[in-house]
Amino acid sequence: MPDQQTNPWSPQDALVAMMVAVSVADQDIKTIELLSIERIVNHLPIFVDFDTAKLSMVSNAVFDILTEEDGLEALFGLVKTALPERLYETAYALCCDVSAADGRLREEELRFLQEARYELNISRLSTAAIERGARARHMSL
């Protein structure tokens, strides 16, 4: 359990927060994005011990943070505090999967991803590979 004084979120909370944040970036949370978050949490090994009841708590915290001035900066601060650096690419990959879930990337989502790349200090080569993988996973006929 994270130390509530210095770090209110676990690494899994931080990953969920990033997925929720990219989903709300365009001010329109789509059902398919929420289902994508739920599917990711229910199936990926990183979430094996995550209490899914915390999904709504983390989501509400993200909504509250993003309504504040400098909310995005505060969100990234919390995420970077909670998340080991080795999982920064994982966070970015999950954001890409959620944003690609509806088959369209909106300008606001692209801006959020750009900011995430910068804040998490992920190389352009790595982000290109992650983005290409998300695109391949979410292709439709």
In tens, the pLDDT along 22-73 reads: 999 988 788 889 999 999 999 999 999 999 889 999 999 999 999 999 999 9
5 pLDDT higher than 60: no
| Dihedral of alpha carbons 109, 106, 89, 128, sign | negative
Confidence of residue 4 (pLDDT cuts 50, 70, 90): very low
The token duo for 6 is 């210095």
Q: Which residue has the tokens 């439709």?
A: 140
Average per-residue pLDDT for the chain: 91
- Per the CB < 8 A criterion, the answer to whether 69 and 15 are in contact is no
pLDDT exceeds 80 at position 7: no
The pair of three-digit structure tokens given for residue 131, joined into one six-digit string: 């983005």
Contact 63, 19 (CB under 8 A): no
- Residue 6: per-residue pLDDT: 66
Return all residues near 61 (Cβ < 8 A) that are at least 6 apart: 17
